[in-house]
């Protein structure tokens, strides 16, 4: 190559480009831009292949660094196995366990109150007997010993005696069953926070909890609507305590977390 100030032209795929200086032409050649190109400058009889021009250096394995392969970006931070919906399940399970050790129903039979009140003993005792007769099957089904016989015995033995009866959540079928389910739920959910295999299949257990909560909500309503709450004061008082209401809160808390965990968990599982 001659004078460095000469104006060079080059053509790639039939497109004429330039002018460029001789040093620029060398840079283009070294950068691989003139491969299979034609070059020309004033004084040359015709366009000449670039590889025929002396002084042009083309890229080789020695002077051209190979392109590094690209890899997909790797997430250096491991994905957490904890789900926010599982927190609802754990919270509801704790509420279920707590409700098992709360009173669900109570009764007080107190003859001394009848004497002190001055009300008509006959009318009050008649009404109390009617209430007991109406609910005797419920008493026998939910209390180990016959409540009617207990009341009669308390009245005959000592007119000043007072009979108190309480039914706790753990002594009911609903309370005992959900106590067992909630313990299993806590163990299963907490374990899934540390074991990826369990986390991947957590949605199946959440689906089971949805069914359990729906059944529990039916049992809760049956308890609230079917438990005797009518009284004949001051001789007989009976009521539904706060335990079932607390249990209902746990039921809907677990139900909320289980529905979302089962739906989103299944969607994530199906994408894999």
Q: pLDDT at position 74, please?
A: 47
Between CA 272 and CA 206 the distance in angstroms is: 19
User: Domain 1-71 falls in which CATH fold?
Assistant: Dna Ligase; domain 1 (3.30.1490)
Work out the angle at residue 95's Cα, subtended by the Cα atoms of residues 89 and 101, and round it to the nearest 5 degrees.
Answer: 145
Token pair recorded at residue 150: 């207990």
Strand-pair partners of 9: 40
Contact 116, 271 (CB under 8 A): no
What are the sequence ranges of the domains in the chain?
A: 1-71, 84-271
Q: pLDDT at position 241, please?
A: 95
Q: Could you read off the pLDDT tens digit of each residue along the chain, which spans 272 residues?
A: 544 457 888 888 878 888 888 888 888 888 788 888 888 888 888 888 888 888 777 776 555 444 544 545 544 456 778 889 999 999 999 999 999 999 999 999 887 766 655 556 788 888 888 998 899 889 888 887 666 667 666 655 655 567 888 899 999 999 999 999 999 999 999 999 999 999 999 999 999 999 999 999 999 999 999 999 999 988 899 999 999 999 999 999 999 999 999 999 998 888 76
Q: pLDDT at position 261, please?
A: 95
Q: pLDDT at position 16, please?
A: 85
Q: pLDDT at position 210, please?
A: 97
Q: pLDDT at position 272, please?
A: 66
Q: pLDDT at position 68, please?
A: 45
Contact 114, 235 (CB under 8 A): yes
Q: pLDDT at position 65, please?
A: 46
Q: pLDDT at position 155, please?
A: 58
Quickly count helices (H) and strands (E) in the chain. Answer: 10, 7
Give the H/E segment covering residue 103.
strand 103-109
Strand-pair partners of 240: 105
pTM of the predicted model as reported, rounded to 2 decimal places: 0.66
């Amino acid at each position: 190559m001659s004078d460095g100030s000469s104006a060079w032209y080059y053509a790639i795929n039939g497109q004429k480009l330039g002018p460029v200086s001789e040093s620029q032409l060398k840079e283009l050649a070294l950068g691989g831009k003139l491969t299979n190109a034609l070059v020309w400058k004033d004084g040359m009889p015709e366009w000449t292949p670039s590889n025929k021009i002396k002084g042009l250096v083309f890229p080789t394995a020695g002077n051209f660094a190979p392109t590094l392969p690209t890899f997909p970006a790797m997430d250096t931070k491991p994905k957490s196995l904890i789900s926010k919906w599982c927190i609802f399940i754990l919270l509801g399970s704790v509420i279920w366990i707590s409700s098992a050790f709360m009173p669900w129903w109570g009764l007080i039979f107190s003859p001394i109150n009848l004497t002190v009140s001055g009300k008509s003993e006959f009318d009050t005792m008649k009404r109390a007997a009617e209430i007991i007769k109406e609910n005797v099957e419920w008493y026998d089904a939910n209390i180990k010993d016959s409540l009617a016989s207990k009341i009669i015995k308390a009245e005959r033995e000592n007119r000043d005696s007072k009979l108190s009866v309480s039914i706790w959540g753990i002594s009911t079928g609903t309370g005992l069953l959900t106590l067992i389910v909630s313990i299993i739920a806590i163990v299963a959910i907490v374990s899934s926070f540390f074991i990826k295999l369990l986390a991947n299949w957590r949605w199946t257990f959440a689906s089971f909890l949805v069914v359990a909560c729906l059944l529990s909500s039916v049992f809760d309503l049956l308890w609230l609507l079917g438990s005797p709450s009518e009284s004949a004061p001051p001789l007989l008082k009976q009521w539904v305590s706060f335990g079932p209401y607390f249990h209902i809160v746990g039921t809907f808390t677990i139900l909320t977390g289980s529905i979302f965990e089962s739906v989103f968990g299944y969607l994530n599982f199906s994408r894999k």
